[in-house]
Amino acid sequence: MDLFGLKKKKALETAQDTQEYLLSEETPFNVREAFNTLRTNVVFGMAPSGGKSLLVTSANQSEGKSTTSVNLAVVLAQNGAKVLLIDADLRKPKLHRFFNTDYTHGLSRFLIGQETLNDALFRTPVKNLDLMTSGIIPPNPSELLGSSRMKLFLEKAEEYYDYIIVDTPPVNVVTDATVLSKIVSGVLIVVHYGSTDRDDFQKAKNQLQMVGANIIGFSVVGVRSEHKGYYKKYYKSYDSYGYGYGDSYRKHSKQSEEGETE
């Protein structure tokens, strides 16, 4: 069955050189296990509210939120859940790159009524995973994301999908994530070990809590690696992984004693 009875487009074929951070069977075991652990924690974290929509954000730019959003969606889909991945970063969209597809047809055009879901939704090569790219970059991202049409869309999407993963801009940079956090079921904050400042993280958490966001926890992506080759950057992002809430977290993978800190 298609959402709202509409037929979804099929995404373009993925080129090998555009999916360096996209999980696959070739991804090293410890990287896949890190995301499987995150999936388990998210499922349990969302269970009390019974909600299905999860906003993924970070305090600042370049802290791994988009890669986390994509691969969390992938492992949820691989576990049999029907998942919708939404690029709600209407300022610097990125999710389309993971699937080598176009971003100009998507969320922003749908919200202003220029496109139907038939035009805005793409079926990714990953079974059970659909993608809504950002659409053209609008002059009023915060207003669109906080609109009644966005709220209605998420409510209707929850009738079809098991999980909706929403990638948003950093909290400390623009207000988009804060605005949208009020109409989703939960929020996951991505923290980059070695680069996310404690004060910046606390500031982002406080902003979200002030508007009543349901912060289910945070994901820590690590930085140390002695691995070389194709997955070098992948390892740098996910060799060290943690999940927690508040000011503490648990490390779930072994860090190497050598390697630089990004």
Q: Which domain holds residue 119?
A: 31-247
Domain presence at residue 26: no
Asked whether residue 254 is assigned to any structural domain, the reply reads no
Helix extents (H) in 5-47: 29-46
pLDDT at site 119 = 87
The β-bridge partners of 220 are 191, 242
Give yes or no for residue 243 having a pLDDT over 60: no
Residue 102 belongs to a domain: yes
The rounded mean pLDDT for the chain is 81
Q: Is 64 exposed, middle or buried (0-12, 13-18, 19+ CB in 10 A)?
A: buried
In a domain, 38, yes or no: yes
Task: Note the pLDDT of residue 24.
Answer: 81
Res 228: pLDDT? 43
Determine, yes or no, domain membership for 164. yes
What are the φ and ψ backbone dihedral angles of 125, each rounded to 5 degrees?
-65, -15
**pLDDT, tens digit, 9 for 90 and up, residues 158-212:** 999 999 999 999 999 999 999 999 999 999 999 998 888 899 999 999 999 999 9
Domain count, the chain: 1
Question: pLDDT grade, residue 101 (50/70/90)?
Answer: very high
Q: Cβ distance 165 to 188 under 8 Å?
A: no
Does residue 139 have a pLDDT over 80? yes
Confidence (pTM): 0.81
Contact 147, 137 (CB under 8 A): no
Mean pLDDT of 106-110: 96
220 found inside a domain? yes
Check which CATH number belongs to the domain holding 145 and give it: 3.40.50.300
Q: Which helix (H) or strand (E) holds 122?
A: strand 121-123
Tell whether the model's pLDDT for residue 5 goes beyond 50: no
**Domain annotation covers residue 237:** yes
Strand partners, 249: 244
